[in-house]
Amino acid sequence: MRPDNHDPAGRLQGAALRRALGLYLVTDRALAGERSEDAIIVAALSGGVGTVQLRGKDLSGRALMAAGTRLGALVRATPVLATTGQDRALVIVNDRVDVALSVDADGAHVGQDDLPAAAARRLLGPQRLLGVSVSSVEEARQAAADGADYLGVGPIVSTPSKPDAPHPIGLRGLQAIRAITDLPLVAIGGITVANAPQVLAAGADGLAVIAAIVAAADPAAAAHALAAAVASAGVRADTQHRGCR
């Protein structure tokens, strides 16, 4: 018998998926500089990251596959915080559904200019997760209809990590998307410890970060601070829910 936090096809769902997406690290080799990217990821996992997205737009398919294989092994060997409720972090591959399948990742994440979400859903099958980047209510509705398991919403504010990103949607844009879907929302774009509470209060279930962890002097401490913000928001939401009964 499958645990209650999986659907019949085997994908993580519900509260368990939201916890896993609570702190979502997007890798960036360039931003890591001369530091070990593997060491940054291990530190981030120890600090509370529940999902790692492999992003390597400058890598060939072969190089990305090698990186995905290495990341999968690293994640399997690295414990995560007990508060995530996971045995290990999730591994998601950005853009490349074929690579996600080849390295047995937990899923793939596609943007508006990548493989259409409906096609990605067909290729991934029922057992893997599909995330879709959206920046408008219309895109969110379409992604949900196409079979997305979660939405990457943003950019919330402009960020140098993704200079080609759409115009920032701000908290109002996030709130508008929250109002039309029950899918988990992972906010991205300029997320910091300082603005995390406002982003979570506006409807995000999770925070996707690049520079806030990868460029931090202490990635573990940075991850821990962000994870604490997510946990605090969850406690507030649960308290409010009980109070409304």
Rg (CA), the chain: 17
Among candidate residues 11, 19, 55, 121, the one labeled active-site is: 55
12/29 Cα distance (integer angstroms): 28
Among candidate residues 11, 18, 121, 162, the one labeled active-site is: 162
Active site residue 162: yes
Active site residue 242: no
195/218 Cα distance (integer angstroms): 19
51/75 Cα distance (integer angstroms): 10
45/51 Cα distance (integer angstroms): 9
The region, left, alpha or beta by phi > 0 then psi within -120 to 50, assigned to residue 104 is left
Active site residue 133: yes
Among candidate residues 19, 133, 135, 178, the one labeled active-site is: 133
162/148 Cα distance (integer angstroms): 22
Q: How far is CA 188 from CA 116, 132, 133, in A?
A: 20, 12, 9
Give catalytic residue positions.
55, 133, 162
